[in-house]
Amino acid sequence: MSTDVPDVARSRPEVMKRGRGPVALVTGGRRGIARAIAIELAGRGYDVAITDLEDDEEASITLRGVEDHGGRALFVQSNLGDVASHAAVVEQVLCWADRIDCLVNNAGIGSPVRGDLLDVGPQAFDQVLGVNLKGTFFMTQAVARHMLSAASPHPRSIVTVSSVSATMASPERAEYCLSKAALPMMTRLFALRLAKSGIPVFEVRPGIIRTPMTAGVAQKYEARFAEGLVPMTRWGETGDVAKAVAQLVGGSLQFATGSVLSVDGGLSIPAF
């Protein structure tokens, strides 16, 4: 295996193998929830590789945050929906760090247009499911193959960040809800496949989280919080999700493989 990291990967500072702490790969890591997860894991001793479509200042902020919290950081430019590129992404991370101990599936896209589900077209359907479901499944498959082929002194884990939309229906975002509804089954399938190897697989299900993706509908949600939409009557913060993920990856909850952890302030609790 070559030790040269390809041009599409960027690390700060110099690329060199530290070889002591655990290594995490966080998809969609340039901002929002994944940035918080990457920084939280760095503070807990992880070196962190992030992937995203754009290598920009947002990505640099995440890399600096990882480094400021004690971890090495690597950026790999990647389109999760391009399944053929997944092997190269994994290879770049392995060139940098020799192994992947933790995969956090966070990358995803929303519905291109919110509206009547009777107007959803095949192109939008394929686009959203191609990233959120197909891309996530095959990235998980690629990393799981590596984990089974290489020993590590650290606990291994896979965590998929899905959404309350896995079970709560929003007719104006039909393709998004369908893509998220399949992720709980994906989690269970990989949990069963990897259980004998001691690799737990979890799903974290955020509710309404304050991120750049929700900024455009912030006023709508503020009004609904006042009406009692979320029992805790506040936004979820990216740090809420990051702390939940961090609790799952360290090995202490290994026997809970296949479990779902909701981070939604009580939003998804059936009540009357």
**HSE-CB for 148 with a 13 A CA cutoff:** 13
DSSP 111: -
- Residue 105 gets the label, from left (phi > 0), alpha (psi -120 to 50) or beta, of beta
CB distance 83 to 129 below 8 Å: no
In the residue annotation, 176 being an active-site residue is answered as yes
Matching residue, tokens 């975002």: 173
Q: At what angle do helices 183-194 and 174-181 cross, to 10 degrees?
A: 20
**φ and ψ at residue 48, rounded to 5 degrees:** -130, 125
Active-site annotation holder among 75, 96, 176, 235: 176
Using CA atoms, how far apart are residues 28 and 104, in angstroms rounded to an integer?
A: 9
CB distance 9 to 18 below 8 Å: no
Is 62 in a helix, a strand, or coil?
Answer: helix
Q: Give 7's contacts (C-beta < 8 A, 6+ positions apart).
A: none
Q: Which amino acid is at 156?
A: R
State how far Cα 89 lies from the chain centre.
Answer: 15
Annotated catalytic residues are 176
